Amino acid sequence: MNNKAMIHRYHWYEYVGIYLGIFLFLAFVLAPFVEGFMVSLKPLGLLFSSPYRFWPQNGSFNAYFTMWESVPGFARYIFNSFLISTIVTIVVLILVVPAAYAFARFEFRGAGVMLGTFLAVNMFSGAVLLIPLYRLMRSMGVLNTYFAMIVPGVAFLIPSAIWLLRTYMMRIPRELDEAAWVDGASKLYTLRRVILPIAMPGIIVVAMTTFIGSYAQQFIFALTFNSKTDYMPLAVGLFAYFGRQEVVWNELMAASFVGIAPAIILIFFLQRYLVAGLTAGAVKQ
């Protein structure tokens, strides 16, 4: 105990070094957001003036009000992003929970190969498969619908979800399943009533990473498989601020912050699970 306290005691110069390091690191990570926020406060006219000024002159939150007028559909884009990501997350969970359980508990022939196959899906990003996917979506008749973004989105989020949940489930003691079987519970009942409740924290983490993945990273499907304005998600919808003459940068930035606020709030409340879950799942190999 004494050891533990002593080992974490820093000299003053070590504190300075560590905080300086953290500052440099976070400056790189957060600089675009700080600058983006400043831009959202600046009037458009002042934005296009040199010399460069970091602090806004006559700064105001005006852009946060005018953005709704210049792109009336914006609330709809946020809603679309949420709807698409929610459905994607639900479908991924339905597919992944049983699969992860199978990989975590059953040593059947071909399990290793199957796991490798799922991982290989990560290699084939959407862009490589775009041409046949486009034809597939067309023949399924889902081009220009929500499903055009949901269907391929799910497929590319399955592998990492399986991987994460499998490692989490492997940490649940086997004795629990075996005790349930001995008591005469069916295997499906065991999964539903014994494993699922215990694996809940892991499932929440997977749900969150999947939601983030879908909310944040699926630009290319929306760009290529959907051309209906009504169904556009946030990332593509933001292009509406790219006017014919010039980009309305202050409104674009304001809209970006409004668009990411819900996701940030979600993470803020759930980050405890996120760091703990990634710590539990990701490293155990």
Binding status of residue 158 toward another protein by CB under 8 A: yes
List helix spans (H) across 218-248: 219-225, 234-237
User: Quick check: 147 binds another protein (CB under 8 A)?
Assistant: no
Is residue 95 a contact residue for another protein (CB under 8 A)? yes
3-state helix, strand, coil in the chain (%, to 5): 75, 0, 20
Instruction: Give the Cα separation of 97 and 206 in Å (integer).
Output: 10
> Which of 30, 36, 29, 34 minimizes the C-alpha distance to 64?
36
Please give the Cα distance from 77 to 71 (Å, whole number): 10
Report if residue 29 touches another protein, rule: CB under 8 A: yes
Under the criterion CB under 8 A, does residue 36 sit at the interface with another protein?
A: yes
Q: Given the rule CB under 8 A, which of 24-32, 55-63, 64-72, 193-201 is the region that contacts another protein?
A: 24-32
Q: Is 124 in the site for another protein (CB under 8 A)?
A: yes
Burial 216-249 (b: 16+ CB within 10 A, else e): eebebbbbbbbeeeebbbbbbbbebbeeeeeebb
Q: Using the rule CB under 8 A, is 258 a contact of another protein? A: no
**Does residue 132 belong to the site contacting another protein (CB under 8 A)?**
yes
30 lines the binding site for another protein (CB under 8 A):
yes
- Give the nearest distance from C-beta 136 to another protein in angstroms: 6
H helices, E strands: number in the chain: 14, 0
CB closer to another protein out of 66 and 217:
217
Q: Which stretch binds another protein (CB under 8 A): 25-33, 56-64, 65-73, 196-204?
A: 25-33
Using CB under 8 A as the binding rule, whether residue 98 contacts another protein is answered as yes
Among 65, 79, 135, 243, binds another protein (CB under 8 A): 135
Q: Kindly write down the DSSP assignment for every residue of 141-160, as one continuous string.
A: T-TTSTHHHHHHHHHHHHHH
The site that binds another protein (CB under 8 A) totals a number of residues, namely 108
Q: Which of 155, 170, 185, 204 binds another protein (CB under 8 A)?
A: 155
Alpha-carbon distance 263 to 266, whole Å?
A: 5
Identify residues 72-91 at the interface with another protein (CB under 8 A): 81
**Contact assessment for residue 41 and residue 250, using Cβ atoms and an 8 Å cutoff:** yes
Q: Which of residues 172-211 bind another protein (CB under 8 A)?
A: 174, 178, 187-188, 191
Indicate the residue among 89 and 256 with the shorter CB distance to another protein: 256
